[in-house]
Amino acid sequence: MSDLPRKAVTRTAKLAALPLGIAGRATLGLGKRIGGRSAEIVASELQQRTADQLFKVLGELKGGAMKFGQALSVFEAALPEEVAGPYRAALTKLQDAAPPMPARTVHNVLAQRMGEDWRELFREFDDKPAAAASIGQVHKALWHDGREVAVKVQYPGAGQALLSDLAQLGRVARLFGPLIPGMDIKPLIAELRDRVSEELDYALEAQAQSVHAEEFSDDPDVHVPAVVHQVDQVLVTEWMDGVPLAEVIADGTQEQRDRAGQLLSRFLFAGPARTGLLHADPHPGNFRLLVDDGPPEGWRLGVMDFGTVDRLPEGLPLPIGTALRLAIDREAQAVLDLLREEGFVKPTIELNPDAVLDYLEPIIEPAQLDEFTFTRSWMRNQAARVADIRSPAYALGKQLNLPPSYLLIHRVTLSTIGVLCQLGARVRLREELLEWLPCFAEDGTWDHWEEEQPPVA
């Protein structure tokens, strides 16, 4: 593959073939059941083959198709175990890998964007990509001043491919419903489409990463590589080693899982408070656990890829902390009143306040305990409860509204919970909320809020 398949008809044909392939396998499965094979065996085979085709296509196409696959991958923990197996390996592959762009194409992009003498900026440049993702791939290099750097090069035609893929995926969104019980796929695709221009703008990404790198420069818990150089479609940052979070999920020790989960939770809430920005792409491919010879308390979380951020100059909205505190105190009517005031409940909708608290239990439970263990089984149970049409939570969920200003915050929070469940991490979430979430403390104050907030462009 020379770069992103650039002919819209080629990409559309690949994506359009997905429902046909899935329907064909379903028909084949019916024939096997009639022939005497058990429904369980046939279903398992169908899930495996469907996963293989689905994520092979998404990974090959990169662009919006792979971006969508990565967004789905963090919710893998919500699948029933007997279904999750066939999908897990295929989903994980999307988090940090894709078919590479050849060296010739990379060199052409660098020459066009950095000048014909681009090689003079580097002492060394590795033509083999170190990582490949949805709209660009990363090469390790040695900058002219001796620093090890990561050079992210955008795929030619990435913008057109992103829009084309997401439009086509929107047409077949219903296929993905069974993958993530209780999740409406269409708003996710629409949100990804709305943020295409930001994702493609490496100047915006460099700006967001620089703000984080400066703020966390001396932080004992979080490391963000500094930006070294940026031009259109090329971003050069300091190189960062470490254990990819996907490896911690697959093979990490419990100490690694717990430390990674604690730091991921800390970054989720501390980031907006300290920078006015919310890192909005929390899949495992964007994080590293920086492990040295010291104790686990000294391990740090490395954070990459700031192409998608939510700009929150005043930090996370104050009603989030207030509503969560009231919910823990079982002030059901006050929670409902606040949700209505913020637009989560439309004026014409009447809800039972106690039912609202029950619906919010998956958020209340981890926040009210000193330590909470996030597990796949816990997430599966919560997802099944919301997806069951007989459940009160299902009916109430259909009546709630998600205001646009909360859309990205909501997805990032759910995605982070998904990663914590993949990790199986024991997390002191309440500790982080008390430290960083405005208005969550019982007295309604927040120590850090009085500090001067950094300017956000």
The per-residue pLDDT for range 187-206, each reduced to its tens digit, is 767 777 777 778 889 999 99
| Least confident range of 49-58, 117-126, 157-166, 387-396 | 49-58
Q: Is residue 163 part of a domain?
A: no
Single-letter residue type at 170: G
Report the pLDDT averaged over residues 325-348: 94
Shared domain for 137 and 246, answered yes or no, is no
At 101, the pLDDT band (50, 70, 90 cuts) reads confident
Shared domain for 283 and 210, answered yes or no, is no
Shared domain for 143 and 271, answered yes or no, is no
At 17, the pLDDT band (50, 70, 90 cuts) reads low
Shared domain for 183 and 209, answered yes or no, is no
At 278, the pLDDT band (50, 70, 90 cuts) reads very high
Specify whether the CB–CB gap between 400 and 344 falls below 8 A. yes
The per-residue pLDDT for range 25-40, each reduced to its tens digit, is 343 333 333 444 434 4
* 95 pLDDT above the threshold of 70: no
Q: Is residue 84 part of a domain?
A: yes
* 246 pLDDT above the threshold of 80: yes
- Percent of the chain residues topping a pLDDT of 70: 70
Query: Which pLDDT does position 200 carry in this prediction?
Result: 85
Query: Which pLDDT does position 61 carry in this prediction?
Result: 52
d(CA 136, CA 4): 10
Higher-confidence position of 192 and 426: 426
Q: For 244-279, give the DSSP string.
A: EHHHHHHH--HHHHHHHHHHHHHHHHHHHHHHSEEE
Single-letter residue type at 255: E
* 85 pLDDT above the threshold of 70: no
* 6 pLDDT above the threshold of 60: no
d(CA 419, CA 360): 19
Shared domain for 325 and 368, answered yes or no, is yes
The CA-to-CA distance between both ends of the chain, in Å, stands at: 38
The per-residue pLDDT for range 377-425, each reduced to its tens digit, is 998 888 878 777 788 887 888 888 888 888 889 889 988 998 999 999 9
Q: Is residue 151 part of a domain?
A: yes
Q: Is residue 273 part of a domain?
A: yes
Shared domain for 313 and 346, answered yes or no, is yes
* 5 pLDDT above the threshold of 80: no
* 88 pLDDT above the threshold of 60: no
Q: Is residue 75 part of a domain?
A: yes
Residue 444 backbone zone (phi > 0: left; psi -120 to 50: alpha; other: beta): left
d(CA 6, CA 63): 10
Tokens of 152: 């992210």
Query: Which pLDDT does position 186 carry in this prediction?
Result: 72
Specify whether the CB–CB gap between 305 and 340 falls below 8 A. no
Q: Is residue 1 part of a domain?
A: no
Tokens of 84: 């999750």
Shared domain for 213 and 230, answered yes or no, is yes
Residue 148 belongs to domain with CATH number:
3.30.200
Q: How far is C-alpha 340 from the geometric centre of its chain's CA atoms?
A: 28
Query: Which pLDDT does position 295 carry in this prediction?
Result: 82
* 423 three-state secondary structure: helix
Higher-confidence position of 365 and 75: 365
Query: Domain limits at 24?
Result: 8-97+168-193
204: CB partners within 8 A, 6+ apart? 198, 307
Shared domain for 20 and 137, answered yes or no, is no
Q: How many separate domains does the chain show? A: 3
Higher-confidence position of 190 and 71: 190
